[in-house]
Amino acid sequence: MKKIVFFDIDGTLLDSDKQMQQSTKQALKHLKENGVFVAIATGRAPFMFDRLCKELDIDSFVSFNGQYVVFENDIIFKNELPTAEIERLVNYSKERGHPLVFLDEKEMKSTELDNHFIEESIGSLRFPYPEKDIEFYKKKEVYQALVFMEENEDAAYESEFPNFRFVRWHQFSTDVLPAGGSKAEGIKLMIKRLGIEMKNVYAFGDGLNDIEMLKTVGTGIAMGNALDEVKLAADVTTTSANNNGIWDGLKSVGLI
């Protein structure tokens, strides 16, 4: 019976210091030895975790919260944000003094230099401040944008842009996805390719963008450091990413 486990990255595979615990590496090694397929499901862009994939020998992933799906190094789905809607977002956010960052699979560019919110948010991922290119979205396929603003301003954007979905991932930043986009939708595409039933699909996560994924898969596992609403969406809660959470979670569901 084929099984697959999807792993979020930040706060899941990586701890609060953006490091991977030795127990996590051992757990994934045991998973593979047991014949379980291993994949990543993240809000990050592919260029942000390519080294991690090489380190763990993983070649299948759901990135951009479901907008760019790769199975065994082949792109099986991509869904860019419509340029006309990005244009509207650019104008709307500019009026409110909210900078943006645009991402494709290889790089990211910002609309503003030296912004504290961008520096704090992108810095939390251990990435340098992106170069400025206001017209990046006109030249490349943008799979995700980031809006940098306070939490109390999310609702205005949600009302103004029904074709987008806004998912907060940082105190100062919100992901912008196509409406209906989620890790869960990307997972459905991959398991169809693999011929695995949803009841044999497992997923680990900790953030708001993991809720649909944990609800959709056969067994959703929330990290001990997950938000309360994420834990409510899961079937199991393991220990934290700083305290052998992946190892303990896989043991608790009998996969290692």
pLDDT at 220 exceeding the cut of 90 = yes
Beta strands in 80-234 (DSSP E): 100-103, 108-110, 144-148, 164-170, 173-178, 201-205, 219-222
Among 65, 23, 63, 27, which residue's Cα sits nearest to residue 45?
63
pLDDT tens string 190-218 = 999 999 999 999 999 999 999 999 999 99
Among 19, 38, 16, which residue's Cα sits nearest to residue 27?
38
Cα–Cα dist 88/94, whole Å: 10
pLDDT tens string 158-170 = 999 999 999 999 9
* Mean pLDDT taken over the chain: 96
Please compute the mean of the pLDDT values over residues 147-157 and round it to a whole number. Answer: 96
Active-site option among 8, 104, 210, 248: 8
Which class in CATH covers the domain with range 4-78+181-252? alpha beta
pLDDT tens string 222-242 = 999 999 999 999 999 999 999
pLDDT tens string 89-133 = 999 999 999 999 999 999 999 999 999 999 999 999 999 999 999
Domain definitions of the chain by residue range: 4-78+181-252, 83-178
Tokens in use for 62? 């759901």
Instruction: Give the single-character DSSP code of 82.
Output: P
Tokens in use for 66? 């479901």
Supply the pTM of this predicted model.
Answer: 0.93
pLDDT tens string 17-51 = 999 999 999 999 999 999 999 999 999 999 999 99
8 labelled catalytic: yes
Q: Which of 1.20.1630.10, 3.40.50.720, 3.40.140.10, 3.30.1240.10 would CATH assign to domain 83-178?
A: 3.30.1240.10
CB 225 within 8 A of CB 206: yes
CATH fold match for the domains 4-78+181-252 and 83-178:
no
CB 126 within 8 A of CB 134: no
Strand partners, 68: 63, 78
pLDDT at 243 exceeding the cut of 90 = yes
